[in-house]
Amino acid sequence: MFAADEASARLGIELVESGAGKAVCRMRVTRAMVNGHGIAHGGHLFLLADTAFACACNSRGPVTVAAGADIAFVAPVHEDDVLTATAEERILFGRNGVYDVTVRRGDVVVAEFRGRSRAVGGGAGRLQHPRSRDDR
């Protein structure tokens, strides 16, 4: 799944580690990611955390998507900062899961993310828009 993730690749996100219910991703903040306040745009931090979350919740096999997520920004991030997002599964119940992702700059926590997942399929592949069934 990560190999086909063009959005993450274009931001330079690397998958550092993955395993059952876990993933670690890394990203360097570029000039293009900095907002008018001179700090990283929160959307980029969210995307990094969401990518780690996606890798963790898809680590078990069935196609799994986000059902929702929240993020708390706790420290500013600047150009050239290298961020590491560590995702860990908290619980699986039925086709649902809860994952926590901590985003750090070195030892400093800069954001906390909680994602809720939903398994939607049995194998890898592209998810189809609901209307696409009618277009066949």
The whole-angstrom separation of Cα 85 and Cα 104 is 6
Q: Of residues 128 and 31, which shows the higher confidence score?
A: 31
Mean pLDDT of the chain: 89
CATH code of the domain containing 118: 3.10.129.10
The residues, any chain, with a CB within 8 Å of residue 35's CB and separated by 6 or more, are 41
pLDDT digits (tens, 9 = 90+) for 35-66: 999 999 999 999 999 999 999 999 988 899 99
DSSP 129: P
Full domain range(s) for residue 9: 2-133
The residues, any chain, with a CB within 8 Å of residue 44's CB and separated by 6 or more, are 11, 27, 29, 33
Tally the domains of the chain.
1
pLDDT of residue 79: 97
pLDDT digits (tens, 9 = 90+) for 81-132: 999 999 999 999 999 999 999 999 999 999 999 999 999 975 544 444 343 3
pLDDT of residue 54: 95
Q: Is the pTM of this model over 0.85?
A: yes
